[in-house]
Amino acid sequence: MEHQLQIYNTLSRKKEHFKPINPGMVGMYVCGPTVYSDVHLGNCRTFISFDLIYRYLLHLGYKVRYVRNITDAGHLEGDRDEGDDKFAKKAKLEQLEPMEIVQRYTLGFHDVMREFNTLPPSIEPTATGHICEQIEMAKEIIAKGYAYEVNGTVYFDVEKYNKEFPYGQLTNRKLEELLEGTRELGGQDEKKGRLDFALWIKAKPEHIMRWPSPWGWGFPGWHIECSAMSSKYLGDTFDIHGGGMDLQATHHTNEIAQSQACNHKAPVNYWMHTNMLTVNGTRMSKSAGNGFLPGELFTGNHPLLEKGYSPMAVRFFMMQTHYRSTLDFSNEALQASEKGYARLMNAIKLLDNLKTSSTSTSNIQELKKKCYEAMNDDFNAPILVANLFEGARIINSVNDGKENISAEDLQTLKETMHNFVFDVLGLKNESSNTSKDKALQGVMDIILDIRKEAKAKKDFATSDKLRDDLAKNNITIKDTKDGVTWSIQE
RNA sequence: GGUCCUGUGGCCGAGUGGCUAGGCAGAGCUCUGCAAAAGCUUCUACAGCGGUUCGAAUCCGCUCGGGACCUCCA
């Protein structure tokens, strides 16, 4: 496996040469969604970014175990250890059992991921399915002396941990600085330290989601599920852990602390964080209320949207920005991507019908090399896309007879375009194959045949009437030199 | 307030010392019964000021602007 893959590691704040623990194999864990409401586009961006990373690792020939969890238990609403959990709160609103909420939004999440053509992870574990593992881990951390129990709730002792291990390494912060930013403990607090966080939380009488534990009935804390499930399926130390940048400071910092305290090993070699999706320069988030749902994006049914955009146009839009940069949403940018995506796809369709020559006027090997260089440089999809557009330019020029390509180079070009566009970027042709579509195709063939005959007889009145009447029904006819094409305006 | 990121042409967005990605829009051309589309070619840029250097969008400093995290959040 010869490559020079560089990955930006949040731990070192540098790009590092990627070297997996076991040659040829990669263990990757990504923090998945909390399924108490619909995923919005910002959530989707993270999972699409990691889909690109997963796909490229697979393309390089790695055997990848990709674990992405479903958080379906425990998370509290506020920063205090009080209040309802998200599932119970939503359940009251919707008059449903908490697990009904979980089921509904898990299915919705999967639907959306399928629309965006993401590959399913190898394992998709749920927090509620791993309560035993989380309890065992909490017990182990207590046994090692880094956690303590108060009235049925178990807290992680951050200040004690920090004496032996660096607590804030992921955000480059010292404990003293972190302490400054927190409130004083009140009289009612059970915690010993201001930064201490819960591994296990005692359930109040009205709390529906609850499990028995050595400390009584309760539910797991905010961060323990990822530590427990990642070590179960990937080992105490594994290659890549990813998630959104918003998880870096708290969730991932605490994950490291839990695993380190439990196993006395650094859990992860490469920490990867994807950046946020913004709308008008501000982060899209549930609390800010500036999010929209994928379904609204596809249909255009939202005040922020001028029209609907197809899943692949949106995916392509995301691929034109590096995963560590913020991506600002706008109708203008999305429409630009939509057109660019169509241009790329049209070029690929021409690939099968290109005429070959004895020599080539463009350096196809060089193009292929540049594609790999782009992706090896910390998954730089925007550079890859730029190179693929250079490929599209070559294809179009050969098609127009302005450039030549040898049979061998054409084969290389085909492989390169297909590998990177479909396998790595995860794009696909969006033409559907339902029986209705096939019937419509048949009807259109008949109409276009009549129009062709009219044109041959120079009966332009008839041919223009057909074109105009179809246009009134949102069907656009285009006479290209290679024949007639038609498309439906959404 | 603390930690960190960021400011690129009309818009989106790469690039971290010399060779000025790419897409969209604009312009020109080709194709064409007309129309539309498409293809090819092409213009416009590095927030401001100062410094380092033979040379800076790229390194350093300051100023101004934007953002994230520090509380659940991908």
User: Is residue A430 a part of any domain in this protein?
Assistant: no
Q: Which of A249, A274, A299 is the last residue of a domain?
A: A274
Q: Which nucleotide's C1' sits nearest to the alpha carbon of A335?
A: B24
User: Is residue A292 a part of any domain in this protein?
Assistant: yes
CATH of the domain at A54: 3.40.50.620
Which range of residues forms the domain containing residue A373?
Answer: 278-424
Q: Which of A226, A251, A274 is the last residue of a domain?
A: A274
Domain co-membership, A222 together with A102:
yes
The answer to whether the beta carbon of residue A249 comes closer than 7 angstroms to any atom of strand B is yes
Q: Which nucleotide's C1' sits nearest to the alpha carbon of A334?
A: B12
Which residues 129-148 of A interface with strand B at a CB distance below 7 A? none
Domain co-membership, A299 together with A411:
yes
Per-residue confidence (pLDDT) for residue A314, from 0 to 100: 94
The answer to whether the beta carbon of residue A247 comes closer than 7 angstroms to any atom of strand B is yes
Domain co-membership, A167 together with A314:
no
The answer to whether the beta carbon of residue A274 comes closer than 7 angstroms to any atom of strand B is yes
**Å between CA of A232 and C1' of B12:** 42
User: Is residue A127 a part of any domain in this protein?
Assistant: yes
Per-residue confidence (pLDDT) for residue A222, from 0 to 100: 81
User: Is residue A305 a part of any domain in this protein?
Assistant: yes
User: Is residue A1 a part of any domain in this protein?
Assistant: no
The answer to whether the beta carbon of residue A331 comes closer than 7 angstroms to any atom of strand B is no
The answer to whether the beta carbon of residue A385 comes closer than 7 angstroms to any atom of strand B is yes
Per-residue confidence (pLDDT) for residue A1, from 0 to 100: 47
Per-residue confidence (pLDDT) for residue A431, from 0 to 100: 65
Domain count, chain A: 3
**Å between CA of A238 and C1' of B61:** 42
**Contact (CB, 8 A) for A133 and A232:** yes
Domain co-membership, A249 together with A308:
no
Domain co-membership, A351 together with A217:
no
User: Is residue A236 a part of any domain in this protein?
Assistant: yes
Per-residue confidence (pLDDT) for residue A274, from 0 to 100: 93
Per-residue confidence (pLDDT) for residue A489, from 0 to 100: 66
CATH of the domain at A381: 1.20.120.640
Q: Which nucleotide's C1' sits nearest to the alpha carbon of A336?
A: B24
Return the sign of the alpha-carbon dihedral for residues A428, A429, A435, A437.
positive
Domain co-membership, A69 together with A145:
yes
Domain co-membership, A56 together with A85:
yes
Q: Which nucleotide's C1' sits nearest to the alpha carbon of A485?
A: B37
Q: Which of A274, A293, A309 is the last residue of a domain?
A: A274
User: Is residue A418 a part of any domain in this protein?
Assistant: yes
Domain co-membership, A184 together with A265:
yes
Q: What is the ipTM of this complex?
A: 0.92
**Å between CA of A320 and C1' of B22:** 9
Per-residue confidence (pLDDT) for residue A75, from 0 to 100: 58
- For nucleotide B38, give the residue with the nearest CA to its C1': A480
The answer to whether the beta carbon of residue A397 comes closer than 7 angstroms to any atom of strand B is yes
User: Is residue A2 a part of any domain in this protein?
Assistant: no
The answer to whether the beta carbon of residue A339 comes closer than 7 angstroms to any atom of strand B is yes
Domain co-membership, A90 together with A176:
yes
Domain co-membership, A368 together with A316:
yes
**Å between CA of A204 and C1' of B71:** 22
Residue A475, φ and ψ in degrees, nearest 5: -110, 120
pLDDT tens for each residue of chain A, 490 residues long: 456 899 999 988 888 899 999 999 999 999 999 998 888 898 999 999 999 999 999 999 999 999 999 999 865 443 344 456 777 777 777 667 888 889 999 999 999 999 999 999 999 999 999 999 999 999 999 999 999 999 999 999 998 999 888 888 888 777 877 777 666 665 556 788 888 999 999 988 877 889 999 999 999 988 999 999 999 999 999 999 999 998 988 899 999 999 999 999 999 999 999 998 888 777 887 766 677 888 888 988 888 888 889 999 999 999 999 999 988 888 888 999 999 999 999 899 889 888 898 988 899 999 999 999 999 999 999 999 999 999 999 999 998 888 999 999 999 999 999 999 999 999 998 766 677 778 888 888 899 889 988 888 888 889 889 988 888 888 888 887 667 878 776 5
Domain co-membership, A455 together with A389:
no
Domain co-membership, A390 together with A282:
yes
* HEC assignment per residue over chain A: CCCCCEEEECCCCEEEECCCCCCCEEEEEECCCECCCCCCHHHHHHHHHHHHHHHHHHHCCCEEEEEECEECCCCECCCCCCCCEHHHHHHHHHCCCHHHHHHHHHHHHHHHHHHCCCCCCCECCECHHHHHHHHHHHHHHHHCCCEEEECCEEEECHHHHHHHCCCCHHHCCCHHHHHHCCCCCCCCCCCCCCCCEEEEEECCCCCCCCECCCCCCEEECCCHHHHHHHHHHHCCCEEEEEEEHHHHHHHHHHHHHHHHHHHCCCCEEEEEEECCEEECCEECCCCCCCCCCHHHHHHCCCCCCCCCCCHHHHHHHHHCCCCCCCEEECHHHHHHHHHHHHHHHHHHHHHHHCCCECCCCCCHHHHHHHHHHHHHECCCHHHHHHHHHHHHHHHHHHHCCCCCCEHHHHHHHHHHHHHHHHHHCCCCCCCCCCHHHHHHHHHHHHHHHHHHHHHHCCCHHHHHHHHHHHHHCCEEEEEECCEEEEEECC
